[in-house]
């Protein structure tokens, strides 16, 4: 079975690289034709050969980062398409960056566009074809991995149900080995632990899954000792997995395996650098192209229509609970207070009398948030991330909302996953605040560069069409 998995991985990787080469050749050929240059389909210059070789290396590097060829877990087509899209986006980003530096006349923007479209279409069709091919092979009893589960408790049964429900992945449950049969699984019960060697001897078993409680450490050792006398792969489901989120991560410190109960891709330096570089580049483009004329105009309107300062400054919490001064265009009368006479934080509400007429427009269009790009340039915030809350709101919520403090594992953002999903505005309802926190944690665990771009696009769309919860 190990050879089958290697063959499947090589087939996926080899097919991707082949289609990448075809897309590159076709893109270069069409770009030269578009520029009025005569060229054959297979005729490449030295620069183009080096570039193609670099793209192939970058594809394999990106595939490892995005987990494009990962095995043995329940991965839907949607998740695989996301990983594929992220890797293609990396290719396009590299193509634009390299061609901007070398300034090639033949490999122009037309080449980048053609290369991107061909790569996206061909690889999407290839992935779908492979899914259909492997599904057909599995239905015919080919290319299957036969699983034996050791244990009969809730943990073992839940895993077996997952295997049975996802038969398209090519895993087949052979049965259970345990001291006693779990109710409802008698037809798959193969005997007690002392029968394990006989089962491995006479049955085709590719994977042995140990699903004992952690207290049964001696039994686990005995099972491993038996399994290692046979050519089968042994895996252990830790009982404490119930404390982990769906996006847990496994790492290593010396000889010790470490389980992070929640994934946080931005813990890794290369992703933080990518996000920071994008924040600075995106902010620079806005300051030069938009803010240079929009901010003076808004400042003049604010000063003209309502006495008081142009900017509103407020202490909020950033990454690791670090206090930051958050900037906004002032949208309320200067006499407004954040805290009422009882010391409770006053969130902006619908028809709030503190909001000025211009301020209502600024809040509904999200223009009041634009000065937070100053915080982005200073490194206190990111373009995308969980929205920072004022200090009084944090103090009220941190002990009453479960997982609230996990929002501060990353830099706060001008816009976030919660906001583009309608979870913005007043959160006096604790259930709404919990939903916002859950959305923020989902963003942290599932962060990707592609997700940030998607949130930015959705934020711009909501800004243009108007958000009913912006007040």
* pLDDT one-digit tens code per residue, 427-443: 666 788 889 999 999 99
Task: State how far Cα 387 lies from the chain centre.
Answer: 18
Asked if residues 424 and 470 have their Cβ atoms less than 8 Å apart, the reply is yes
Does the pLDDT value for residue 471 go beyond 60? no
Q: Cα separation of 329 and 344, whole Å?
A: 23
Residues facing residue 235 across a β-bridge: 209
| Higher pLDDT pick, 350 / 134 | 134
Highest mean pLDDT among 200-209, 244-253, 272-281: 272-281
- Where is 236: in which H helix or E strand? strand 233-236
DSSP state, 189?
A: B
> Which residue matches tokens 């200067």?
334
pLDDT band of 1, cuts 50, 70, 90: very low
pLDDT at residue number 296: 92
Q: Cα separation of 406 and 440, whole Å?
A: 9
pLDDT band of 73, cuts 50, 70, 90: very low
pLDDT band of 74, cuts 50, 70, 90: very low
As a residue count, the chain comes to: 471
Picking from 254, 267, 259, the residue whose alpha carbon sits closest to that of residue 236 is: 259
Q: What is the pLDDT of residues 281-337, one digit of tens each?
A: 999 999 998 999 999 999 999 888 888 888 989 899 999 999 999 999 988 877 666
| Higher pLDDT pick, 329 / 93 | 329
DSSP string, 196-218: HHHHHHHS--SEEEE---TT-HH
Percentage, residues of the chain above pLDDT 90: 22
382 φ, ψ to 5°?
A: -120, 165
pLDDT at residue number 72: 45
Mean pLDDT of the chain: 82
Range with the poorest average pLDDT among 159-163, 203-207, 303-307, 464-468 = 464-468
Highest mean pLDDT among 168-172, 189-193, 343-347, 414-418: 414-418
DSSP state, 72?
A: S
Highest mean pLDDT among 185-199, 227-241, 273-287: 273-287
Residues facing residue 257 across a β-bridge: 252
Domain edges within the chain: 2-139, 145-243, 269-465
pLDDT band of 75, cuts 50, 70, 90: low
465 φ, ψ to 5°?
A: -90, -15
Two tokens, residue 393: 């709101």
Task: State how far Cα 222 lies from the chain centre.
Answer: 39
Does the pLDDT value for residue 377 go beyond 80? yes
Distance between start and end Cα atoms, the chain = 59
Q: What is the pLDDT of residues 393-432, one digit of tens each?
A: 888 888 888 888 999 999 999 999 998 888 876 666 678 8
> Which residue matches tokens 């373009």?
383
Range with the poorest average pLDDT among 73-87, 361-375, 433-447 = 73-87
Tell me how many degrees the CA angle 158-159-163 measures, rounded to the nearest 5. 120
Q: Cα separation of 361 and 364, whole Å?
A: 5
Percentage, residues of the chain above pLDDT 70: 85
Picking from 209, 210, 75, 97, the residue whose alpha carbon sits closest to that of residue 146 is: 209
Sign of CA dihedral 94, 97, 101, 106: positive
Instruction: Give alpha helix (H) positions in 67-108.
Output: 77-102
Does the pLDDT value for residue 460 go beyond 70? yes
DSSP string, 381-449: -EEESSPP-BHHHHHHHTTTSTTGGGGGGS--EEE-HHHHTT--S---SHHHHHHHHHHHHHHHHT--H
CATH topology assigned to domain 145-243: Rossmann fold (3.40.50)
Strand ranges in 295-377 using DSSP code E only, listed in sequence order: 311-317, 323-329
Asked if residues 409 and 418 have their Cβ atoms less than 8 Å apart, the reply is no
Taking the CA of residue 456 as centre, how many other CA atoms within 13 Å lie in the half-sphere pointing to its CB?
A: 13
Asked if residues 437 and 404 have their Cβ atoms less than 8 Å apart, the reply is yes
Does the pLDDT value for residue 10 go beyond 60? yes
pLDDT band of 64, cuts 50, 70, 90: confident
Note every long-range contact of 40-43, with CB atoms under 8 Å and residues 24 or more positions apart, other chains counting: none
Does the pLDDT value for residue 71 go beyond 60? no
pLDDT at residue number 305: 87
Across the chain, how many H-helices and E-strands are there? 15, 10
DSSP string, 424-439: -S---SHHHHHHHHHH
| Higher pLDDT pick, 333 / 115 | 115
Question: pTM of this prediction?
Answer: 0.68
Buried b (16+ CB within 10 A) or exposed e, 289-327: eebeeebeebeeebeeebeeeeebeeebbbbeeeebebb
pLDDT at residue number 379: 94
């Amino acid at each position: 079975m190990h050879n089958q998995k290697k063959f499947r991985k090589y087939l996926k990787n080899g097919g991707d690289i082949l289609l990448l080469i075809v897309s590159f050749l076709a893109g270069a050929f069409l770009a030269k034709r578009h520029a009025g240059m005569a060229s054959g389909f297979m005729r490449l210059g030295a620069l183009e050969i080096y570039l193609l070789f670099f793209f192939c290396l970058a594809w394999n590097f990106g595939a490892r980062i995005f987990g494009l060829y990962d095995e043995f877990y329940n991965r839907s087509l949607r998740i695989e398409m996301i990983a594929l899209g992220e890797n293609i986006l990396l290719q396009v980003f590299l193509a634009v960056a390299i061609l901007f530096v070398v300034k090639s006349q033949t490999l122009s923007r037309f080449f980048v566009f053609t290369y991107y479209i061909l790569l996206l279409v061909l690889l999407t069709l290839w992935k779908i074809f492979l899914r259909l091919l492997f599904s057909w092979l599995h239905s015919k009893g080919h290319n299957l991995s036969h699983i034996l589960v050791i244990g009969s408790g809730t943990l073992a049964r839940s895993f077996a149900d997952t295997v049975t429900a996802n038969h398209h992945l090519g895993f087949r449950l052979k049965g259970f080995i345990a001291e006693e049969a779990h109710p409802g699984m008698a037809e798959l019960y193969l005997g007690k632990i002392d029968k394990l060697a006989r089962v491995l001897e006479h049955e085709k078993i590719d994977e042995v899954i140990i699903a004992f409680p952690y207290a049964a450490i001696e039994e686990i050792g005995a099972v491993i000792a038996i399994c290692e006398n046979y050519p089968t792969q042994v895996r252990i489901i830790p009982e404490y997995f119930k404390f982990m989120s769906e996006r847990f991560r496994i790492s290593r410190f010396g000889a010790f395996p470490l389980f992070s109960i929640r994934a946080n891709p931005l813990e890794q330096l290369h992703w933080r650098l990518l996000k920071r570089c994008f924040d600075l580049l995106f902010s620079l483009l806005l300051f030069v192209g938009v803010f240079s004329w929009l901010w003076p105009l808004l400042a003049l309107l604010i000063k003209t229509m309502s006495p008081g300062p142009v900017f509103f400054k407020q202490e909020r919490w950033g990454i690791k609970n670090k206090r930051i001064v958050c900037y906004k265009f002032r949208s309320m009368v200067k006499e407004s207070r954040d805290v009422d006479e009882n010391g409770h934080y006053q969130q902006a509400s619908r028809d709030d009398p503190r909001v000025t007429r211009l301020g209502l427009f600024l809040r509904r269009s999200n223009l009041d948030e634009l000065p937070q790009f100053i915080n982005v340039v200073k490194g206190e915030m990111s373009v995308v991330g969980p929205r920072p809350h004022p200090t009084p709101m944090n103090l009220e919520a941190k002990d009453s909302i479960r997982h609230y403090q996990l929002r501060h594992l990353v830099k706060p953002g001008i816009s976030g996953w919660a906001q583009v999903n309608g979870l913005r505005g007043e959160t006096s309802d604790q259930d709404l605040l919990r939903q916002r926190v859950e959305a923020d944690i989902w963003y942290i665990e599932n962060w990707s560069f592609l997700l940030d771009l998607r949130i930015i696009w959705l934020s711009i769309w909501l800004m243009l069409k108007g958000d009913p919860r912006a007040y």
